[in-house]
Amino acid sequence: MIDELSAAMKISGSGLHAQSSRMRIVSENLANAQSTGRTPGADPYRRKTVTFKSELDRATGASLVSIKSIGVDRSPFAVRHEPGNPAADANGYVKMPNVNPLLEMADMREANRSYTANIQAITQARAMIAMNIDMLRNS
Amino acid sequence: MEPVHLFSLASDQAKWLSLRQTAIAQNVANANTPGYAAVDVTPFQDVLDRTTLTLASTQPGHIPLPEMDARAAKVRKSASWEITHSKNSVSLEQEMIKAGEVNSAFSLNRNLVSTFGRMLTAAVR
């Protein structure tokens, strides 16, 4: 019984880890939303993406969640006319990162929601363990 | 007390509820995994129906059958409220409702067992 419940805690823990890594990627993207290249015509920061996979934990037989890969977004860069910028090419155009703050915000909200749900699952499992222990105490 | 099977029944149900909580935790953790299908355990009624007699081992060479394992209750794809574009069928709201059910059933179970335990102690005393 306790085994199952501690497996539940372990699974939720892996969920927390996955969602916080996702949050880290989101904040990386947001922080670098204006990071252009250094040399003329160089590529700016490329938006990072994170994908999850479910992974069988052999000790407990449960599916943990883990980071599958951290990839990059292949969508094209926006260009802006800014001849004074050190990254501007011969025509005065600067490539800007393909980060869309609105998209990142939506991603962040979703990560937050999943994180809360995982916390809730841990709280429940803890309450169940506490009930088991209380039974020992009362009898 | 044993003819009533109360304690073994309660223990089986507690095992089943713990397993269901694990399944819920697994679904919640994989709420954003592409292609993940939500799971649930088979209903407790089915687990009870499948409980079989155990064979006595009378020879040293006999291999005992595995006991009724809560793991035997595992896992089937659950009827889900929604399937997202990435083929993920976890609905967090549904999981939270299930977790609430599990929590109240577990609480009822544990309280019943401790009440019966107190009754036993009172009878013995």
Q: What are the tens digits of pLDDT across the range B29-60? A: 998 888 888 888 888 887 777 665 556 677 77
Number of structural domains, chain A? 1
The whole-angstrom separation of Cα A131 and Cα A128 is: 5
Question: Rounded to two decimals, what is the model's pTM?
Answer: 0.79
Q: Do B29 and A14 touch (CB under 8 A)?
A: yes
Query: Above 60 in pLDDT, residue B108?
Result: yes
Walking along chain A (139 residues) 10 residues at a time, the average pLDDT comes out as 82 93 94 88 89 85 87 89 86 90 93 94 93 80
Q: What are the tens digits of pLDDT across the range A78-114? A: 888 988 888 888 888 899 999 999 999 999 999 999 9
Taking Cα atoms as reference points, which of B8, B30, B16 lies closest to residue B80?
B30
Closest Cβ–Cβ partner in A4, A54, A124 for B99: A124
Chain center to CA of A125 = 24
| A113 in reach of chain B (CB within 8 A) | yes
Per-residue model confidence (pLDDT) at position A90 = 86
Query: Above 80 in pLDDT, residue B95?
Result: yes
Instruction: Show residues of chain A in contact with B36, CB under 8 Å.
Output: 54, 63
For an interface test with B, the pick among A9, A131, A132 (most B C-beta atoms closer than 10 Å) comes out as A131
Question: How far A31 CA sits from the closest chain B CA (Å)?
Answer: 24
Taking Cα atoms as reference points, which of B67, B70, B68 lies closest to residue B15?
B70
Per-residue model confidence (pLDDT) at position B67 = 53
**Which residue did the predictor score with more confidence, B75 or A25?**
A25
Question: How far B19 CA sits from the closest chain A CA (Å)?
Answer: 6
Count interface pairs A-B at CB distance under 8 A. Answer: 120
Q: Do A14 and B36 touch (CB under 8 A)?
A: no
Question: How far B102 CA sits from the closest chain A CA (Å)?
Answer: 9
Domain span at residue A37 reads 2-138
Per-residue model confidence (pLDDT) at position B71 = 47
| A54 in reach of chain B (CB within 8 A) | yes
Closest chain A CA to residue B106: A128
Q: What is the ipTM of this complex?
A: 0.81
Per-chain mean pLDDT for chain B: 81
HSE (side-chain half, CA atoms, 13 Å) at B15: 16
Instruction: Using alpha carbons only, give the angle A6, A55, B41 rounded to the nearest 5 degrees.
Output: 55
